[in-house]
Chains A and B, each alone.
Chain A
Amino acid sequence: DVKVTQSSRYLVKRTGEKVFLECVQDMDHENMFWYRQDPGLGLRLIYFSYDVKMKEKGDIPEGYSVSREKKERFSLILESASTNQTSMYLCASSFREGAGVYYEQYFGPGTRLTVT
């Protein structure tokens, strides 16, 4: 059974704190993604990675950074959390185009982050 796990389901942080969200997949997928989901805005891509140590900005990368040191793990970092980063954060993974079915992404359960 394929699995994407995220380190926390709920997280409460204070403004200015550094926040780490961890994501692990066990499907040997090349691609990994971080999205945030807000009511009425759908899923917006923050960053994605198509290989270890590789990263590309998505549509809303400001205020975020990422790290991918191992194929199975993709971390999202909020350098200095702000209240407008309160959101649901979803991690996903997929095969790389040409290596498999890239359009089928597998999502983790999400982390609901509240910044106060």
Chain B
Amino acid sequence: GQSLEQPSEVTAVEGAIVQINCTYQTSGFYGLSWYQQHDGGAPTFLSYNALDGLEETGRFSSFLSRSDSYGYLLLQELQMKDSASYFCAVGGATNKLIFGTGTLLAVQP
């Protein structure tokens, strides 16, 4: 079967760095995506890793290790507006994504 695991909640303070981990079990792995969803809003795409290593986009970075079936999203210089749920998702050969259950990030002043 296919499954993803990520922590249910993470708390951090403004200006800090936080890492949200995701481990996965899937067949036909193509890549790992990350989505952000603010309360009451729609999920929005953040990043995608198909190859091992770190991808950086501004304050956000995403890492993948295919051999460990593991990835993470790194958020730097946290801001209050980063308080949201973050979902990892794996893509396979079928044009669809399998989403994790989400990590609720609370940024405190």
Contacts and interface: CB of A to CB of B under 8 A. Distances in A.
Interface residues of A, number: 29
A48 to B, nearest CB: 6
B99 A48 contact: no
A43 B95 contact: no
Interface residues of B, number: 24
Given A42-B87, A103-B30, A50 B42 contact: no
Interface stretch (B11-19, B43-51, B63-71): B43-51
Interface in A1-29: 4
Interface of B: 8, 30-31, 33, 35, 41-45, 48, 87, 89, 91, 93-102
Interface of A: 4, 31, 33, 35, 40-45, 48, 50, 56, 58, 90, 92, 94, 96-97, 101-110
Given A104-B45, A107-B44, 6 more contacts: A41-B101, A90-B42, A97-B93, A103-B31, A103-B33, A108-B42
